[in-house]
Structure 1
Amino acid sequence: MSQLTHPITEVLVVADCWRNEPEADAVIQRAIAAAADAVDTDVADAELAVMLTDDSGIRTLNCNWRGIDKPTNVLSFPALQPSGAQKPGDAPRMLGDIAIAYETMRREADEEQKPFDHHLSHLAVHGFLHLIGYDHENDDDAEAMESLETEILAQLGIPAPYADRERMD
């Protein structure tokens, strides 16, 4: 690769339940790098944060931001993008934030008999795609997003995530 195309990703562990998953940071970094390589969006030198939380934390976020009072596996919060071109000396462009809930993610991985790191990779990719504008509000958008997720995960050696499962929220 001739130039850096990956965003700068900061992984923040805010719930103790993640302390038993020391590879989570590396898994997320790898998944987001693969996603950045697969999309046409320029994310070089952009920044994003991934917060590793628990069901209680993500439930609060889900309730406050979406009006849904229950935990979910992943939430994305795209940053507002400044108008105009980036100038030398400007702060790095923020893509936004992703939150991933341990208990929900762990339960889904166990129920679907998927390796933990495969499901974590999928949720990181899913969240990243939301940050850069992908969505699944209608069937065509959902099909495009799921197809891209499947392609990205295949590059990581991870089987198609939607083979035996309903779409994510």
Structure 2
Amino acid sequence: MIEIDLSAQGRWDDGSDWQSLCEKAVAAAIAVAPFARLTETAATLSVSVRFADNAEVHALNRDYRQKDKPTNILSFPMLDAVLLESLANTDDGEILLGDMILAHEICGTEAAEKNIPLPQHISHLIVHGTLHLLGFDHMTDHEAEAMEAMEIKALASLGLPNPYIEY
């Protein structure tokens, strides 16, 4: 079972079903990763998602990544990826995968620039952030290609298009 602890600031309260969107996007990301077996355990996979504003994300980016600017999403894994494989045999309890925080203004601007609905862009970012929680990164070309391939596959399972194709 996947449990999403969602909190949102006022600007995110637009009538969208962010809870369901996050649940589906996290599940899709886990399903395409090598850790898909985690969803077959009796343990609860827990992810915290915070929908915030640029200022909050900016402060966290500065304090934790030494980047003095806002960004669209930050992910804070709770477990080393090496431990995740062994947790696939867990028969109960809770597995805390980590936390994600998204900046409303940046996400909205990016969605508008891509000419896509905000929920579609957020689905992509939640998939992307979940893969970070699972230990994936995009620091090298090889890592980026592998991560993008998983994102494309996860989004396709949600009926969403490849976000890396330029139209």
* Same fold flag (TM > 0.5): yes
What are the residue-to-residue correspondences of 1:123-138 with 2, within 5 Å? 123-138=125-140
Letter in 1 for 2:98: G
Q: From the two aligned structures, give the one with the greater helix fraction.
A: 2
Unaligned runs of 5+ in 1: 1-5
**Conserved 8 A contact 2:2-2:23:** no
SS at match of 1:46: strand
Kindly tell me: are residues 87 and 151 of structure 1, through their superposed partners in 2, closer, same or farther at Cα, counting changes over 3 Å? closer
Structure 1 range deviating more: 79-88 or 144-153: 79-88
Report the Cα distance in structure 1 between the residues aligned to 2:117 and 2:90, rounded to whole angstroms.
Answer: 43
In structure 1, the residue matched to 2:21 is 27
Report the Cα distance in structure 2 between the residues aligned to 1:134 and 1:155, rounded to whole angstroms.
Answer: 19
Kindly tell me: are residues 108 and 46 of structure 1, through their superposed partners in 2, closer, same or farther at Cα, counting changes over 3 Å? same
Letter in 1 for 2:157: Q
Kindly tell me: are residues 21 and 123 of structure 1, through their superposed partners in 2, closer, same or farther at Cα, counting changes over 3 Å? farther
Report the Cα distance in structure 2 between the residues aligned to 1:157 and 1:12, rounded to whole angstroms.
Answer: 25
**Conserved 8 A contact 1:7-1:43:** no
Pair 1:7-2:2 in alignment: yes
Q: TM-score, normalised by structure 2?
A: 0.86
Structure 1 range deviating more: 28-37 or 61-70: 28-37
Residue correspondences, number: 158
Shift of 1:87: 7.0
In structure 1, the residue matched to 2:38 is 43
Q: TM-score, normalised by structure 1?
A: 0.85
Unaligned runs of 5+ in 2: none
Higher relative contact order (CA 8 A, sep 6+): 2
In structure 2, the residue matched to 1:111 is 113
SS at match of 1:58: helix
Detail structure 1 runs of 4+ shifted over 3 Å in the superposition: 80-89
Shift of 1:37: 2.0
